[in-house]
Amino acid sequence: MSAPIQSTLAVPSIPHWIGGEAVGGASSRSGDVYNPSTGCITATVPYASAADIKACVAAAHAAFGKWAATPPLRRARILFRFRQLLESASDQIAEAISREHGKTLSDARGEIVRGLEVVEFACGIPDLLKGEYNENVGTGVDAFSLRQPLGVVAGITPFNFPAMVPLWMFPVALACGNTFILKPSERDPSASILLAQLLRESGLPEGVFNVLHGDREAVDGLLHHPDVAAISFVGSTPVARHVFHEGTQHGKRVQALGGAKNHMVVMPDADVDEVVDALLGAAYGSAGERCMAISIAVAVGDACADQLIERLAPKVKALRVGLPSDGQTEMGPLITSEHRARVCDYIEAGVGEGANLLVDGRIGYAGKPGGFFLGGSLFDRVQANMRIYREEIFGPVLGIVRVASLDEAIKLINSHMYANGTAIFTRSGNAARAFTSAIEVGMVGVNVPLPVPMAFHSFGGWRSSLFGDHHIYGREGVRFYTRLKAVTQRWPRELERRAEFAMPTMK
């Protein structure tokens, strides 16, 4: 693989955001931010030091008391203003995402829309913060419950959705009364600062939302800091496992969403043209760099597989790969040259293990200087013992597995270590019902290739795709970012005052 192009021009440094303002930070360490379409360095980003982490947590901690005491409706009004500003600035943020990530502008705009939906949900959270009340649970005794914020919470987010995933976290956390520290990916950090600026313009008090850039040192600093009450994470399974174990060992509440290997079952009665269009978008959209991407198509029957391949392979070959700014582009570059090399290694491994490579995405792209482009690849006759089946590739590679029955497809999917998302394409209600009932996966689609739940539901997988007890956003998000307090009270009359030494009971 060719090395990234080094720009000779001075590049800006993307700051931290601490206490309501841009801060350069105290660390001498930094990283380069690339434009994946050109291979050029476009910016640098500081990596937080221990002093930066301390200052950031201190700012969030100092702001917590007043923000938690702010009436929920007033917090919601700030988020509503933020929602309006975010919609107005969506093109600017999409351009920043496309420049640093490489996804097409339409895809970048789409992720902002999905993030906006969670902001809209968060504006209605005051209703979900209501507790329960029971009058007269005992003579003259009433009981009620409260949902109260945790304190300083942090979100650690991946490169593939630099706006959407943070928007899945902090609007819910802020609406519940917490203060928030975002540690975005160092690969594409600009969107996080644009969001911080919009929050300040919305009237959010200083220190309520903060951005801390960095690598593992920043992550571990947040995991170990005693004033951080909870951690939300989205990324790979090895890191999710580390975040969960380190965070919980340090007494924190943790939700850590990990990797995926999402299967689409194609039944013989499915509309093949509909399936092909769904697979093109679900497998190759955003260059396959989605945790909900379909990377395995499970064809039920050889005839179904043959028909699928006949119509799918030519369209994979014809995918328009190019600059994200070009309205005709269907797939942009991968995030880094290292990641492109990793995906190419998986393609080579698939060939070596005996899978049938029908479309080789390396042709015309691998080793090409400049941007980190790669075409779509398509494998047939993938087996469950192959690396390209077992492991998450996170690139534009789709494998077809052939099975004899729906039961065999279900058994195959339920045996995989990942259980994030899955889908079935069929015209049979009986097949769909049997699949949705028996499948052991967190998110299921029926004739929907990317079953990402709406904001008022919740997102999360099973098995090695999620560590922790709570899914992200929706009602599950409200539960994660709050804790329950139960109050039992009595206001006795003057004559009833006396000491009680026996165990209290409700008579």
Contact 181, 228 (CB under 8 A): yes
Q: Is 465 helix (H, G, I), strand (E, B) or coil?
A: coil
Measured CA to CA, the distance from residue 480 to residue 476 in angstroms comes to 6
Measured CA to CA, the distance from residue 193 to residue 198 in angstroms comes to 9
Measured CA to CA, the distance from residue 23 to residue 96 in angstroms comes to 20
**What class, spelled out in words, does domain 50-258+465-486 have in CATH?**
alpha beta
Out of 40, 56, 123, 291, pick the active-site residue: 291
Segments of the chain assigned to CATH 3.40.309.10: 262-446
205 DSSP assignment: P
pLDDT of residue 364: 78
Distances (CA, A) of 85 to 77, 158, 181, 192, 375: 13, 24, 21, 15, 36
Query: CA 155, 259, 398, 440: dihedral to nearest 10 degrees?
Result: -120
pLDDT of residue 278: 97
270 DSSP assignment: S
Region 262-446: CATH code: 3.40.309.10
pLDDT of residue 5: 42
Beta bridge partners of 6: none
pLDDT of residue 365: 74
The verdict on whether 291 is a catalytic residue reads yes
From the CA atom positions of the chain, what is the Rg in Å?
25
pLDDT of residue 3: 44
Cα 387–chain centre separation: 24
How is 213-226 classified by DSSP, letter by letter?
--SHHHHHHHHH-T
Those residues whose C-beta lies under 8 Å from the C-beta of residue 409, and which sit 6 or more positions away, are 263, 265, 298, 300, 403
pLDDT of residue 7: 43
Say which amino acid occupies 392. Answer: E
In the chain, the N- to C-terminal Cα span, in Å, equals 78
Burial of residue 252 (CB within 10 Å: 0-12, 13-18, 19+) is: buried
Measured CA to CA, the distance from residue 193 to residue 93 in angstroms comes to 10
Distances (CA, A) of 382 to 57, 178, 265, 288: 48, 47, 14, 18
pLDDT of residue 11: 85
Task: Please give the sequence-ordered ranges of beta strands (E in DSSP) within 212-360, or none if there are none.
Answer: 228-234, 253-257, 262-266, 294-300, 356-359
Beta bridge partners of 467: 256
Query: CA 214, 219, 225, 229: dihedral to nearest 10 degrees?
Result: 120
Nearest to 97 by CA among 10, 157, 18, 172: 157
Q: Give the length of the chain.
A: 507
Walk along the chain (507 residues) in steps of 10 and give the mean pLDDT of each run.
46 94 90 94 95 97 98 96 97 96 95 96 93 89 94 97 97 98 97 98 98 96 97 96 96 96 97 96 95 96 97 96 91 94 96 97 75 96 97 97 98 96 97 97 95 88 92 93 94 69 67
- Name the one residue in this structure whose structure tokens are 């969960």: 244
Measured CA to CA, the distance from residue 125 to residue 105 in angstroms comes to 31
Measured CA to CA, the distance from residue 233 to residue 10 in angstroms comes to 33
**Helical residues (DSSP H) of 353-472, grouped into ranges:** 387-390, 406-414, 429-438
- Name the one residue in this structure whose structure tokens are 């899978």: 355
Measured CA to CA, the distance from residue 243 to residue 298 in angstroms comes to 32
202 DSSP assignment: T
**How many CB atoms neighbour CB 344 within 10 A?**
22
Segments of the chain assigned to CATH 3.40.605.10: 50-258+465-486
Measured CA to CA, the distance from residue 333 to residue 287 in angstroms comes to 7
> 263-293 as b/e, with b when 16 or more CB fall inside 10 Å?
bbbbbbebebeebbebbbebbbbbbbbbbbb
